[in-house]
Homo-oligomer: A and B are copies of this chain.
Amino acid sequence: MDLIAHHISHRFGALEVLDDVSFTLRSGEVVAIVGPSGCGKSTLLSILGGLLQPSAGQAEWRGAPPPDSRNPLTFVFQDFALLPWCTVAENVEFPLLHANLSERERCAVVDDALRRTSLSDFRGAYPRQLSGGMRQRVGIARALGVRPAILLMDEPLSALDSQTRELLMEDFIRLLADGSMGAVYVTHNLEEAVRIADRIVVLSRRPGRIREVVTIPLSRSERGDIHAREQLLALQSDLWSLIREQAVEAEREVQHA
């Protein structure tokens, strides 16, 4: 299943947020979206997932979603969006309730998702009893439970400590390895972007336009090598200077005007 951003523009009232953004996510690919705060990354993701209607253009899909997917386009939200009246387990179970699953199967799926996010000890806790990082993990566990064809992730690891992040990142990479699942991965962390993405879409400051699309020249499995490490690090700092050269000056201008 491919996902296509087709000349998407969006404005909130008078505020132009996205300007003619187009790209294609091929089946099993991971596209990272990076760009300055407030440039429209979350907005773009909402449009791609059908939660927002763009002012112009549209999101499209092509091909068939995998038959076992319970929700082809699945979000991991930036603000987690947990149901405060549901326990951790119930939150993860929530999207499965209307799927065609037996009680038993559902439990198994929930258990699996919680184990993968190290939340098994907190099955019965309510969101208000969780730390920020734990909430984020609940959001990820919920998304994993529905076997998405494409994951739409909005800074899914931002509130996590480096260890947990490392572990979840490895999990993501393992999940994505067989090529059945694609992802749009919004992040502000270039290291993450370089590690996980096939391509990186760099957005400009608001209104977000595509500045660059950077293809990572290594397959994800190759990136674990010690050789590759160097290359990735270089890629990352190149990307950083690219972003920097484009935006920092402009930002500074505004900031110290």
Contact = CB atoms under 8 A, between A and B. Distances in A.
Given A129-B12, A256-B115, A162 B134 contact: no
Contact of A254 (B79, B118, B162): B118
Interface string A112-144: 000110101100000001111110010000000
A131 to B, nearest CB: 4
A179 interface: no
Interface of A is mostly: helix
A134 B37 contact: yes
Nearest to A117: B255
21 contacts: A34-B161, A34-B162, A35-B161, A37-B131, A37-B137, A37-B160, A37-B164, A41-B131, A43-B131, A118-B254, A155-B159, A158-B158, A158-B159, A161-B188, A162-B188, A162-B189, A162-B240, A162-B243, A163-B247, A166-B244, A166-B248
Interface of A: 12, 34-43, 78-79, 115-116, 118, 120-121, 129-134, 137, 154-155, 158-167, 188-190, 240, 243-244, 247-248, 251-252, 254-257
